[in-house]
């Protein structure tokens, strides 16, 4: 059965086609209903606003029925196994969109997605686990493509770590690194020491960038990394190496050095955009004036989630071979 957990199995040209398909849904150029008579389950063990609602709407607009389940309202809450839950879901549904992770146990989320796909025998889409958030990053790339056209690959995108009290998934960071390396983008990732990415993603990106011509850089200094960039994407993620209490204290100490404020944003290009995938607490990754300012694309990228979800679903369920991209 087909699954879409990350970008590692997709060719750069197909990823580009998927993003273009999302634009075709947005502009109304494509208007089909590949989910007619399909029941798609949304299974989440952590909260979601954008992913959950955009998938519900996308499924409905593609002719299907979206059925949403929180883990705590299923018998999972009474210790029923995921094997039994997924196997039974496979008897009723036609596909699953799953958000599942626990950041105190890196890898558990992805293993759970694999277990769900294996036992349900359904197509499964990753709606954010502890490793990737592909649907978010496709929406971000679509947003950049709308702003810059094909020149988006020549624009310097800074993806920087920022503070959040909550230990967030590094899914967006891994997915951006993978997407940029496949698409041939110019990406700089900045983070404090202790927030290094998963080695597997670093190795994949290195190889993919050699093929695509992508330029991928890393920095441990936001003041330097933000210099002359065209896009500032600020996003918190949890450390994969620091123990819980130690990380909490450490990130509180360094948060001011990693805040996108007026002084730092002024070091980027004059017409630089700001992106965050939301949710964001004003004053954590960036100051309110930048988050709500005229260069912020956060609502544009949130809107694009809907169109990207439609493209992703269509590419899994369409009978048109040309649309089967993932």
Provide the binding-site residues for ligand CP, judged by CB under 6 A. 48-52, 128, 136, 277-279
**Three-state secondary structure readout of 2-29:** CEECCCCCCCHHHHHHHHHHHHHHHHCC
- Name residue, tokens 């979800």: 309
CB 100, min distance to ligand CP, A? 13
Q: Distances in Å between the alpha carbon of 174 and those of 131, 134, 189, 237, 240?
A: 7, 9, 10, 10, 12
Q: Smaller CB distance to ligand CP: residue 52 or 307?
A: 52
Q: Whole-number minimum distance, CB 163 to ligand CP, in Å?
A: 17
With contact defined as beta carbons under 8 Å apart, do 96 and 112 qualify? no
**With respect to ligand CP, which residue has the nearer C-beta, 135 or 185?**
135
Nearest to 185 by CA among 205, 164, 163, 171: 205
Of the pair 191, 305, the CB lying nearest ligand CP is at 305
Measured from the CB atom, the residue of 181 and 309 that comes closer to ligand CP is 309
Most distant CA pair in the chain, distance: 56
User: Smallest gap, in angstroms, from Cβ of residue 118 to ligand CP?
Assistant: 25
Could you tell me the smallest distance in angstroms from the CB atom of residue 148 to ligand CP?
22
Residue closer to ligand CP, measured from CB, 119 or 136:
136
CA-nearest of 130, 140, 137, 197 to 168 is: 130
State residue 196 phi and psi, 5-degree precision.
-65, 155
Shortest spacing between CB 98 and ligand CP, in angstroms: 13
């Amino acid at each position: 059965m087909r699954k879409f957990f990350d970008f590692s199995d997709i060719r750069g040209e197909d990823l580009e086609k998927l993003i273009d398909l999302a634009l075709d849904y947005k502009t109304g150029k494509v208007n089909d209903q590949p989910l007619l008579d399909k029941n798609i389950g949304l299974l989440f063990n952590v909260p979601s606003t954008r992913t959950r609602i955009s998938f519900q709407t996308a499924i409905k607009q593609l002719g299907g029925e979206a059925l949403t389940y929180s883990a705590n309202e299923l018998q999972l809450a009474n210790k029923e196994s995921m094997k039994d839950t997924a196997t039974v879901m496979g008897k009723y549904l036609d596909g699953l969109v799953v958000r599942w992770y626990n950041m105190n146990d890196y890898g558990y989320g992805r293993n759970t997605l694999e277990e769900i796909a294996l036992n349900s025998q359904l197509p499964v889409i990753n709606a954010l686990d502890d490793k990737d958030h592909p649907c978010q990053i496709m929406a971000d790339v679509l947003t950049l493509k709308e702003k810059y056209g094909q020149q988006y690959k020549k624009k310097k995108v800074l993806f920087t770590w920022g503070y959040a009290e909550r230990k967030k998934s590094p899914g967006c960071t891994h997915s951006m690194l993978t997407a940029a390396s496949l698409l041939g983008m110019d990406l700089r990732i900045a983070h404090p020491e202790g927030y290094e990415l998963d080695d597997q993603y670093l190795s994949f990106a290195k190889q993919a960038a050699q093929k695509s011509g992508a330029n991928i850089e890393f920095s441990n200094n936001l003041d330097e990394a933000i210099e002359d960039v065209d896009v500032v994407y600020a996003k918190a993620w949890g450390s994969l190496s620091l123990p819980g209490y130690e990380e909490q204290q450490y990130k509180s100490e360094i948060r001011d050095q990693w805040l996108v404020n007026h002084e730092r944003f002024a070091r980027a290009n004059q017409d630089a955009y700001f992106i965050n995938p939301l949710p964001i607490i004003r004053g954590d990754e960036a100051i309110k004036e930048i988050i709500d300012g005229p260069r912020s694309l956060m609502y544009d990228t949130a809107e694009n989630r809907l169109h990207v979800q439609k493209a992703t679903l269509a590419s899994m369920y369409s009978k048109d071979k040309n649309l089967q991209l993932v």
